[in-house]
Structure 1
Amino acid sequence: MPLRTNVPENFLNLFHKILENEPVENGNKLNLFSLKISSNAFSYANLEEELGDILTKYALSRSTYEDLREKEKYTTLVTKAKDRLRNAKSNDGELGEILLYAMLESHLKAPKLLTKLELKTDPNHYVNGADGVHLLKINDNTFQFIFGESKLYSDLKEGVKKAFESLKNLLKEDLCKLRYEIQLVNSNFLKEAHDEHSVDLLKKLLIPTENDEDLNIDYSFGIFLGFDAKITDDERKLSNVDFRKTIYDKVKNAVLALLPAINDHIKQDDFRGYSFYIYIVPFSELKKQRKKMIAELKK
């Protein structure tokens, strides 16, 4: 692999895998992972700690990260990463973007090429386009650029709808917007210092005239969906064992009920020839938790 992933596989130990690589339309995969439950509540504190550890590599370019690390400017490294995040009060989406990055790296083993956050010059500025671009090696001659899209909606059905609408928008104008994303990777990634093999391979994948080998590149989409698993007072009174089973079954049934709708979206003509990697995570009190976790990350 030309690049290494920065999120270790043990990040996934924070989650209970309810559905893993569940088949959906056209040979695609869906994953439903729930944060582990302790004392009848999702273990948010453990997730906050782990996201704090990976934030610097997510928010900063590889060259910025390596430069500050080599100079042992660790405080600057952390401060720069935190400064990229928007204020928690107006921050509705960045938690999903970070979790998408973490899932694609730790579960799919697809290292990031670029994230929306590292392009920001102002923490309150919104960067349009894909939430991130990752590279997945299929075999020695075939690679995929994965364009990320994350949505955090209380209603999962609405989140699914909005995610596919955003992806359809990326495909408008005869792939013009996807080509723009590739140009962003080209201009921001290749100017950084990497090992010679990585640069050589990525040039061949990013610049058609450089591809003097039989290398194939396809486009695909990574989707992260967070939704609200509303927990009732009666459910909270259950024993720890019964609570876990009840909540895990509840979110599993909610996702399985939406599989036909997800398949209908994937089957649309716009998405023929594209692969999908879908990750779904339930939250309790989503609106409150996502702001709280961003606030913790910005501390």
Structure 2
Amino acid sequence: MARKKFKECLNNTGELGELLLYCFLEGHLNAPKILTKMEMKTSNSLYVNGSDGVHLLNNGDGTYKLIFGESKLYKKLSDALNAAFNSINDFINENNPNGKNKTGINYEKDLISSNIENCEISDEDKDVLELLIYPTKNEKKIRIDDAFSIFIGYETDISNETRSCTSNNFSDEVKKKILLDLDKYENKIYEKIKDNNLLGHTFFVYIIPFTDIDITRRKILKDILT
């Protein structure tokens, strides 16, 4: 059913990122979705601002994280990171670049309130969400912290490895190149968090390299939809 919700998928570079981030949060982090924009897009402007989706993570110790997602696919990793943190900054400060009023983290929580009955989560997690919406009911003092997830897709050039490596060591060399790429940006992610006054928040960051990112994105989406 989710694939039917894609809006102009082959012309929208963001849809694949939203889908992959959804998969990571549900499959890897075991954080069920509360709200996904893929399900709510019914026009070119409805709900396109703000986060790409919201998930709830049970930490297992009586505390929870409400995770707001942001996905970006760019050719350059640095451009993707800049765009992701600019979006998060706007989201936190409720700043809509398009000039519309309804945007930001508090508006997103209002969306959760109006869509809570449609959430495919356990009754226990629904009770937790109600505590978020109606704090006066929180007699157990359950802690719910805001957190952020970021999916980054970027383009990597493996032409040198393709030309110079044998089939036996090709995958090792490509892996080595990707790890070097990521090592360069580890500190930059921390700097972005610090520069945007987000220290103290938890971040879940997923980064995937693509070759020929525009072609690959279209191919993956086409495969999903056929």
- Contact 2:66–2:146 at 8 Å: present in 1 too? yes
Q: TM-score, normalised by structure 1?
A: 0.67
1:219 correspondence with 2:140: no
More off after superposition, 283-292 vs 186-195: 186-195
Q: TM-score, normalised by structure 2?
A: 0.88
1:242 correspondence with 2:163: no
Q: What secondary structure does 1:287 align onto?
A: helix
Q: 1:104 to 1:236 in 2, by over 3 A?
A: farther
The one-letter code matched in structure 1 to 2:91 is L
1 CA distance for matches of 2:120 and 2:217? 35
1:154 correspondence with 2:81: no
Cα shift readout 1:125-183 (whole Å, capped 9, x = no counterpart):
66211001011112342111000000101100111111111101111149x71111111
1:163 correspondence with 2:84: yes
1 CA distance for matches of 2:161 and 2:175? 16
The one-letter code matched in structure 1 to 2:112 is V
- Which residue of structure 2 lines up, in the alignment, with residue 7 of structure 1? none
Q: 1:92 to 1:139 in 2, by over 3 A?
A: same
2 CA distance for matches of 1:194 and 1:107? 17
Mark the runs of 5 or more structure 2 residues left unpaired by the alignment: 96-102
1:113 correspondence with 2:34: yes
- Contact 2:34–2:120 at 8 Å: present in 1 too? no
Q: 1:258 to 1:198 in 2, by over 3 A?
A: closer
1:255 correspondence with 2:182: yes
1 CA distance for matches of 2:109 and 2:167? 48
What is the identity percentage for the equivalent residue pairs of Structure 1 and Structure 2? 37
2:6 aligned to which of 75, 85, 92: 85
* Cα RMSD after superposing both structures: 2.3
- Which residue of structure 1 lines up, in the alignment, with residue 100 of structure 2? none
How many aligned positions are there? 219
Q: 1:238 to 1:275 in 2, by over 3 A?
A: same
Mark the runs of 5 or more structure 1 residues left unpaired by the alignment: 1-55, 60-80
Cα shift readout 1:204-251 (whole Å, capped 9, x = no counterpart):
133212222211111010000011111216525632221101110011
Structure 1 residue 278: Cα displacement: 0.4
